[in-house]
Amino acid sequence: MKLAVLSDIHGNVRALDAVLADIDRRGVDDIVNLGDCTYGPFDPMPAMKRLFDRNILSVSGNEDRALVEAARGTTASGMASFCIARFRDEQIAWLARCSRTLEWDDILAFHGTPEDDATYLLTAVDRNGIRERDLSEVRYLLGGRTARLALCGHDHTPRHVRLAGGTHIVNPGSVGCPAYLDDVPAPHVIENGTPHARYALIDRQRSRLDVDLRAVAYDWAAAAKEALDNGFPDWARWLATGCVS
């Protein structure tokens, strides 16, 4: 079985269309989306339509949750307000229905960790910056859950690691946002260094599991221009370069 894994689309339909076209050329059996679908400096409706039209299995990310909470009247960031002003009720309802975790066959899928959509599984953040987590930390954050394949997103950084017990952990990177800065839980920068759209292609066979972390070209200049036109110059820079500065 070939499985395509998407995450962190952030409403970037240009990047999503390029990824889906690449997937369609590769004989993929199924697609799963790990959340943060539409929170970004774009009209969220086209990207959401792609998910609906293809009936893509999806989990909820922390920014999906933020949009649902904002739509229900909690304090909203400027980005959340921008997005929900362009949604219809059915899109918010769909985001609200998405589960935090999904399990099927030998696969466990979630956004951050199985217990927390706002914590990175494979990346640690502290006052000294970011680092790759020790595998003992990763096992702890999995909370005793076991699977042949664990799928996570959230930190926009493509990685594939294997735990001693045999579990493969795959982060496909971000379809729609190649770099960003954040201040939670401490100030840090994530940069992929190029503006490509990222996803993972996983070939699950009986005796082995092959992971291809893919980078796909698309019209990132047009995406950056849309972000700039919509009033988000920081996103425009991230989209155009894959770097924060």
Structure tokens at 73: 């009247």
pLDDT at site 76: 87
> Is 48 among the domain residues?
yes
Which residue range forms the structural domain that includes residue 153? 2-219
> Is 234 among the domain residues?
no
pLDDT at site 128: 87
pLDDT at site 85: 96
Q: Are 122 and 171 in contact (CB under 8 A)?
A: yes
Residue 205's pLDDT band, with cuts at 50, 70 and 90, is confident
Residue burial 200-216, b: 16+ Cβ < 10 Å; e: rest: bbbbbeeeebebebbbb
> Is 142 among the domain residues?
yes
Q: Does 206 score more than 90 pLDDT?
A: no
pLDDT at site 162: 96
> Is 133 among the domain residues?
yes
List all residues 6 or more positions away from 108 whose beta carbon is below 8 Å from its beta carbon: 101, 102, 114, 145, 147, 149, 150, 151
Measured CA angle at 192 (ends 190, 193), to 5 deg? 115
Q: Are 198 and 214 in contact (CB under 8 A)?
A: yes
pLDDT at site 97: 96
List all residues 6 or more positions away from 88 whose beta carbon is below 8 Å from its beta carbon: none
Q: Are 25 and 192 in contact (CB under 8 A)?
A: no
Q: Quick one: residue 99, left, alpha or beta (phi over 0 = left, psi -120 to 50 = alpha)? A: beta
181 residue type, one letter:
L
Pick from 134, 133, 170: nearest CA to 149: 170
Structurally, how many domains does the chain consist of?
A: 1
14 residue type, one letter:
R
State mean pLDDT over 210-234.
Answer: 98
Average pLDDT, the chain: 96
pTM higher than 0.75: yes
> Is 175 among the domain residues?
yes
Residue 56 sits in a domain whose CATH number is: 3.60.21.10
- Report pLDDT digits (tens) over 128-183: 889 999 999 999 999 999 899 999 999 999 999 999 989 999 999 999 999 999 99
Structure tokens at 161: 């690691």
- Report pLDDT digits (tens) over 49-103: 999 999 999 999 999 999 999 999 988 899 999 999 999 999 999 999 999 999 9
> Is 197 among the domain residues?
yes
> Is 237 among the domain residues?
no
Q: Does 9 score more than 90 pLDDT?
A: yes
> Is 189 among the domain residues?
yes
Owner of token pair 């970037």? 12
